[in-house]
Amino acid sequence: MPTYRIAPSILSADFARLGEEVRNVVAAGADIIHFDVMDNHYVPNLTIGPLVCQAIRPHVQVPIDVHLMVKPVDRIIPDFAKAGANIITFHPEASEHIDRTLQLIRDHGCKAGLVFNPATPLHHLDHVMDKLDIILIMSVNPGFGGQSFISQALQKIAAVRQKIDESGRDILLEVDGGIKIENIAAAAKAGADTFVAGSAIFGNPDYKAVIDAMRKELASA
């Protein structure tokens, strides 16, 4: 069985109690904190930035996975690295120079990744596999929590799994959007190993019950 990681998205957490929320969700078994950054330009919503990343950093030891839904991306990357981000991912449509942006993230000591919207083709991977630590497949269109899983993402995950395996590289395959207890095993079977879940976890008062149930599904995937 691969090492599976569960990454709660704090987009669905209580922003008035964010420190407590990240501590509680890590105590409930989260492996990673998924941090959604939206700019009301690349996506039609506005969320949180480096100051909030810095504010939650001392509350948890697990990696903070910054998902940038912003355009342009380069200017803000050093700020997130300084704020304690461990992983930084961005959308290829949002960068004029994808290779340079990936290098910039690594130069700042973070793991780097590309994010693919449901309609974004995978050819952006072709020349940068050696600069990737993580690939994120969106199973919703980015911008909001609580949307329904788009099942075509499963074929895309399978295609990326094949590319990663062929490359022989150590690259995480993350899925984000509409992940629930009911569909996490399907995403794992398709080849994902890292699972973002926002509303499914923070929408239930018992975070541990949801994370445990997800792990049980993964164990039998």
Per-residue x/- track, 41-80, ligand DX5 (CB under 6 A): --------------------------x-------------
For residues 11 and 181, which CB has a smaller minimum distance to ligand DX5 in the complex? 11
Residue 137's closest CA among 4, 185, 151, 111?
Answer: 151
For the record, the structure tokens of 118 come out as 């449901």
Catalytic residue among 65, 133, 176, 193: 176
Distance CA(165)–CA(185), nearest Å, equals: 20
- C-alpha–C-alpha distance, residues 15 and 214, integer Å: 24
C-alpha to C-alpha distance for 9 and 7, rounded to whole angstroms: 6
Least distance from ligand DX5 to the Cβ atom of residue 34, Å: 6
Residues 62-81 within binding reach of Zn ion (CB under 5 A): 67
Q: How many residues sit close enough to ligand DX5 to count as binding (CB under 6 A)? A: 21
Residue nearest to ligand DX5 (CB): 198
170 belongs to the catalytic site = no
Whichever of 17 and 127 has its CB closer to ligand DX5, that residue is: 17
> Residue 36 is encoded by which pair of tokens?
């959604």
- Residue 39 appears among annotated catalytic residues: no
Kindly tell me the burial class for residue 46, based on how many C-beta atoms sit within 10 Å of its own C-beta (0-12, 13-18, 19 or more).
exposed
Residue among 88, 162, 154, 150 at smallest CA distance from 125: 162
Interface residues toward Zn ion, by CB under 5 A: 36, 67, 176
The residues assigned a catalytic role are 36, 176
Interface residues toward ligand DX5, by CB under 6 A: 9, 11-12, 34, 36, 67, 140, 142-143, 145-147, 176-179, 196-200
